[in-house]
């Protein structure tokens, strides 16, 4: 049994549209079979056909989970009583409908992400398995006591093998874009990104960079690297379409591959994690 509340986005829309949006494996055949068997209720009233729904309606489905959700094998890189670290695949959000968090919440009484990755960025995502852990880790991220590194495949080869980059970022929510400036501007926030050159291919003019994200703003790595002339290959938003086609990538080649717990202050029940490093041996990118 699954119960879900209708949000305002689907007010006065068809029930079928709402269900297809929330359950990625639900088929028309399964849905109409449920109508015939009266296995769907709206506000505890059985229904036998598609109908309009309203914000706040409670939808209850008596349909097996394997008919509602696509099965995705998630790689659990590390787990203990307090935390879970998952290697996120591409083409899935960390939070929201049909997200990584939603999948995990089917198996855990409590699980909440401590940070996010873009939909098509792969790699390590840290989850808290209880409220006390969540509060501690959010505070540690805020105080920069958790170190995150990414691998990025970029077009071009930097002259300097390592560099600390400073700039200013503006987030345009309407366009779902961010913009980078080298000088302070109204509405822009300061960002810091550093890179180390790990590998270069002069024949194909690309590099593999280790990226240390000091300030975690939306699209920061992607936009900042593009701004300095080294767009991430495969990035359809900040990259170069011709280059993406040349290399054959449809999503940004960016992977969160390294986490280190650098606690400078007391971490309570998580003190045992201090100094611990979690690293992907074979990043998907």
Q: Which residue bears the tokens 């309570």?
A: 268
3-state class of 101 per DSSP?
A: helix
Straight-line distance from the first to the last Cα atom of the chain, in angstroms, rounded to the nearest whole number? 38
Q: Are 4 and 23 in contact (CB under 8 A)?
A: no
Question: In the beta sheet, which residues pair with residue 124?
Answer: 87
Pairing of strands 122-128, 277-279: unpaired
Whole-number Å distance between alpha carbons of 128 and 134: 5
Which are the contacts of 33, defined by CB distance < 8 A and separation ≥ 6?
none
Longest Cα separation, the chain? 67
Among candidate residues 31, 64, 65, the one with its CA nearest the CA of residue 49: 31
Whole-number Å distance between alpha carbons of 72 and 95: 16
Q: Are 224 and 173 in contact (CB under 8 A)?
A: no
- Residue ranges of alpha helices (H) inside 111-215 are 131-142
Q: Is 172 tagged catalytic?
A: no
Backbone angles phi, psi at 172, to 5 degrees: -100, 100
Whole-number Å distance between alpha carbons of 88 and 79: 15
Q: Which of 118, 172, 182, 266 is the catalytic position?
A: 118
Element (H, E) at 52: strand 52-53
Q: Give catalytic residues, as residue numbers.
A: 118
């Amino acid at each position: 049994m699954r119960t879900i509340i209708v949000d305002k986005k689907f007010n006065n829309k068809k029930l079928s549209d709402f269900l297809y949006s929330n359950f990625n494996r639900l088929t028309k055949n399964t849905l109409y079979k449920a109508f015939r068997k009266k296995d769907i209720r709206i506000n505890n009233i059985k229904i036998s056909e598609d109908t309009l729904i309203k914000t706040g309606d409670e939808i209850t489905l008596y349909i097996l989970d394997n008919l509602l959700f696509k099965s995705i094998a998630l790689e659990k890189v590390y787990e203990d009583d307090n935390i879970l670290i998952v290697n996120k695949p591409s083409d899935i959000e960390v939070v929201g409908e049909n997200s990584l968090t939603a999948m995990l919440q089917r198996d855990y009484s409590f699980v909440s992400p401590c940070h996010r990755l873009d939909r098509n960025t792969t790699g390590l995502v840290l989850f808290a398995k209880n409220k006390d852990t969540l509060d501690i880790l959010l505070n540690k991220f805020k105080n920069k006591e958790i170190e995150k590194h990414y691998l990025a495949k970029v077009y071009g080869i930097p002259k300097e093998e390592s560099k600390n980059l400073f700039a200013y970022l503006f987030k345009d929510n309407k366009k779902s874009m961010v913009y980078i400036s080298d000088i302070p501007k109204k509405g822009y926030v300061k960002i810091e990104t550093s890179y180390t050159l790990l590998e270069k291919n002069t024949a194909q003019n690309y590099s593999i960079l280790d990226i240390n994200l000091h300030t975690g703003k939306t699209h920061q790595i992607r936009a900042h690297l593009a701004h300095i002339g080294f767009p991430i290959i495969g990035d359809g938003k900040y990259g170069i379409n011709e280059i993406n086609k040349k290399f054959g990538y449809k999503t940004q080649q960016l992977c969160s591959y390294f986490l280190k717990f650098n606690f400078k202050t007391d971490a309570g029940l998580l003190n045992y994690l201090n100094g611990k490093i979690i690293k992907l041996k074979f990043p998907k990118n």
